[in-house]
Each structure stands twice: as structure tokens, then as C-alpha cells.
Amino acid sequence: MYRIGEVAEMLHLKTHVLRFWEMEFPQIEPMRTDTGHRVYSEKDVGLLRRIQQLLHEQGMTIEGAKRVLSGSAIIDENEPQRVVAVPDAAFMNMLENELVSIRNLLSFNTRP
């Protein structure tokens, strides 16, 4: 377990940045001591490192990093700066059905 100052030092960040990220990324859940001080687990520190990598090293926005962490977007490995949205399965099924309907209409209209 690490106190906020220790985590800030490890990541070369200011403590206010860590507190801000806590508000922006609900996945970060430090425990509180009886005196109200934050105590971060290894899991929290790993997540903070990942957030730092996404924001500072890859130049993502907070919204982009949130999407990557939630799994609704992935990073294009060929272009690390590019985030690709993961399509919603229900939407893709609806789109496929629409395209099949259009194809059927077009093939029906072109018959002699």
C-alpha cells in the first residue's frame, strides 16, 4: 500500500493530478485510512501508470483514455496516436440487416 505522496513520486506527478484522475476515472479506488488519507493498492498504481501512459506518452485526451480503459475503444497498434471505436454488436446487426434489405431491393429492381 502506498500513500499519495509516494505514488506521486513514483510516477513523477503532482498529488493534485492524482486526485483529479480519481474524479475522472472511477476505476481508481484508493482506500482511506482512519485519518482520511488515501492509500493506493498495487492495482491502483498499475492503473495510474496506464492512465499516465495513455495521456502523457500517447497524447490521448481524458475521454479517449476513458474509452480505452472501459473497453469501448482500442488503440491502433500501427498508429499509437489513433484510437479505434469498438462497434456495438446490436448496431452492427441492425446495419447488416439494413444492407441485406437494400441489396435485396436492388437485385429485385434489376430483374427483367
DSSP string, the chain: -EEHHHHHHHHT--HHHHHHHHHH-TT---EE-TT--EEE-HHHHHHHHHHHIIIIIS---HHHHHHHHHTSEEE-TTSTT-EEEPPPHHHHHHHHHHHHHHHHHHHHHT--
Dmax (CA) of the chain: 83
Among the ranges given (5-9, 15-19, 71-75, 104-108), the one the predictor scored with the smallest mean pLDDT: 71-75
Binned at pLDDT 50, 70 and 90, residue 73 comes out as low
Flag whether pLDDT at 40 surpasses 60: yes
Q: Between 36 and 76, whose confidence is greater?
A: 36
